[in-house]
Structure 1
Amino acid sequence: MAKVQNWKQEAPANFYACCTAALREGNESPESFRKCWSRRLSPLYWRVPIFLWAVVIISWSTVYFWGPREKFLLYMTHWGLILIFLESLFGIIVVINKSPEKLSESKGMPWVVKTYWVLYNITVPVAFLITLFYWAILRAPGKKMNYAPNPILDIMLHGVNSGLMFIELVFSRHPSRLLHIMQPLYFALAYLLFTVAYYIAGGLDPWGNAFIYPVIDWSKPLQTLVVVTLTALFLALMHIITVVVAAARDFIIRKTLTDKSGEYNDGFEA
């Protein structure tokens, strides 16, 4: 009953924080972002390989891009790839920065930890969405356009990306919160506004079409708005799934580990 009362009292503040995409800090400490749930593992074991993977795939996809290099950043896939690069980079910085002055709880959450957390909140569900959107819509049977002529690079960009972010999600110790749902949605909105601006400016894709993706064609606004709305709903679903996986991770840890310090299973709390 007390929890319900607290939820009602905090609802306006939580709603405002959610709408503004503000970080909702709770009982976690900066230390939780630089540790794995297993004391025997350091996040460097997976964040460094993910960072190196991102560097290699960015270089590879840039060199073998199927169109003019200046059009490389037209695609959400490449935005997501840069997100993985930044997320893993800041994740590494958080781990190796052991200065007690900079990771002191008394001084609040350091900016580098906050930056990493926001990148994490955006990158994980966006990676899942890119994989789903690509294989279910863009590469569905009967589609003629080939967005990744190299089949290995195709898998790296639209399959391995989600696998690596799933590893980050499962092995990390810090929380994923439902109230952070607007962070990936606002990122997607930024990309959407970019596509609108590109269309208005008369931009073309590498094949000379007046759209970036055929399903997001602003010359057909009603059809495009339906696709955009459904995509936003799927992205929200990807965030919810991320929170569920994090909560399940913490639940299993609480039930199996004898050392129960550092539990942050509050992703659904208000």
Structure 2
Amino acid sequence: MGVKKYFKKEFQASNFNLEHDITPDFYLGCWQTNRSCVPLLCLRAILCAGNIAIVIASWVVLADLLTSHGFWWIYLTQWGILANALTSIFAFAISLKVYLGGPIDSAFGLPWYIKLYWFLFNASVPMAFMITVFYWTFLNAEFDIPGLDATMDIFSHGINSVTMFLLLITARHPTRLLHFYHAVAFGILYLVFSLIYYFAGGLDSSGNPWIYPMLDWSNPGPTVAVVVGVAIGLIILHGLVTLLSLCRNHFSQRFRKENRSFSVSG
């Protein structure tokens, strides 16, 4: 009965939008029992610094290996870590704004910067998981940048997901099933870029006419199959993120309730 009620509530047209009645859910951690923005502010500061450091390290290391800074921008991994950095920057900025200026007024709906953070969150978390799974499953064996440091490889294709997972399990705002299109939109944007890059005569740093071996537009049949598979994978991963957020909410609400009861009885 609870599952049926959940799906009935989720599959409403209004849930395609970025609206939520409880603004503090965007700057209070789900595991904290007080109303202070400081705990989540501190964690978000660490995650923000970490994601920015990954982008900077990737830029420094890969730009040298790829012979040109321009090649850095063509890979989905770099798009992904940039999205992670932007998401964590907005998350930190929201917490910092509340710390410095007090609660956010949402009398006329969520402010634009919270909506933008929410969109980035919905797009970047499933995409980070997708990049990690896709790289270590399909790309690692046949796609190699000569001289790439193993540590940088792990941070770009592994720690990227860890930082977003930490952002996910400490947040309190909801993840809606109908927001699946945010991650898909991110994927479509990269797809359009790869098409334009190919038809404009773009090459990778080794002179190949493709960015990734399985994204070779000179052989459209298998490439389209890969694109469809990735789109389906992103929707599935968004569903997984939604499930994780539901589990997070369930256990964190029990944790907060038990701790409040303990405080009262103590």
TM-score by length of 2: 0.86
Query: After superposition, where does 1:229-248 map in structure 2 within 5 Å?
Result: 229-248=228-247
Question: What is the CA-CA distance between 1:59 and the residue it aligns to?
Answer: 1.7
Does 2:41 match 1:44?
yes
Question: What is the CA-CA distance between 1:229 and the residue it aligns to?
Answer: 0.5
Does 2:171 match 1:175?
no
In structure 2, relative to structure 1, the CA distance for the partners of 1:260 and 1:251 (3 Å cut) is farther
Query: After superposition, where does 1:1-270 map in structure 2 within 5 Å?
Result: 13-14=13-14, 18=16, 22-23=17-18, 25-27=19-21, 29-37=22-30, 38-39=32-33, 42-65=39-62, 66-67=65-66, 68-98=68-98, 99=101, 103-140=104-141, 143=142, 145-146=144-145, 149-258=148-257
| Contact 2:23 2:110 survives alignment (8 Å) | yes
Runs of 4+ in 1 over 4 A off after TM superposition: 3-12
1:4-59 Cα offsets, whole Å, 9 max, x none, are: 89988996735xx64xxx32x244x2211011011366222321112112222222
Secondary structure of the residue that 2:204 maps to in structure 1?
Answer: coil
| Contact 2:122 2:175 survives alignment (8 Å) | yes
In structure 1, how many angstroms separate the alpha carbons of the residues matched to 2:123 and 2:6?
28
Unaligned residue ranges in structure 1 (runs of 5+): 262-270
| Contact 1:50 1:164 survives alignment (8 Å) | yes
Unaligned residue ranges in structure 2 (runs of 5+): 261-266
In structure 2, how many angstroms separate the alpha carbons of the residues matched to 1:209 and 1:110?
45
Number of corresponding residues: 250
In structure 2, relative to structure 1, the CA distance for the partners of 1:42 and 1:8 (3 Å cut) is closer
Question: What is the CA-CA distance between 1:71 and the residue it aligns to?
Answer: 1.2
| Contact 1:35 1:172 survives alignment (8 Å) | yes
1:90-135 Cα offsets, whole Å, 9 max, x none, are: 10111011235x7123232111111111111111111000000100
1:114-160 Cα offsets, whole Å, 9 max, x none, are: 111111111111100000010001014xx253377100000000000
| Contact 1:35 1:43 survives alignment (8 Å) | yes
| Contact 2:77 2:156 survives alignment (8 Å) | yes
In structure 2, how many angstroms separate the alpha carbons of the residues matched to 1:6 and 1:34?
24
Instruction: Supply the AA of the counterpart residue of 1:167.
Output: L
In structure 2, how many angstroms separate the alpha carbons of the residues matched to 1:225 and 1:157?
26
The alignment's C-alpha RMSD in Å is: 2.6
Question: What is the CA-CA distance between 1:61 and the residue it aligns to?
Answer: 1.3
In structure 2, how many angstroms separate the alpha carbons of the residues matched to 1:62 and 1:185?
26
Instruction: Supply the AA of the counterpart residue of 2:57.
Output: W
In structure 2, relative to structure 1, the CA distance for the partners of 1:253 and 1:144 (3 Å cut) is closer
Question: What is the CA-CA distance between 1:257 and the residue it aligns to?
Answer: 2.7
Question: What is the CA-CA distance between 1:189 and the residue it aligns to?
Answer: 0.1
Instruction: Supply the AA of the counterpart residue of 1:60.
Output: A
Instruction: Supply the AA of the counterpart residue of 1:245.
Output: L
| Contact 1:176 1:246 survives alignment (8 Å) | yes
Percent identity between matched residues is 32
Range moving further from structure 2, 211-220 or 249-258 = 249-258
| Contact 2:194 2:211 survives alignment (8 Å) | yes
| Contact 1:218 1:224 survives alignment (8 Å) | yes
1:168-220 Cα offsets, whole Å, 9 max, x none, are: 11111111110100001011000000000000000000010000000000000
Instruction: Supply the AA of the counterpart residue of 1:49.
Output: I
In structure 1, how many angstroms separate the alpha carbons of the residues matched to 2:74 and 2:33?
41
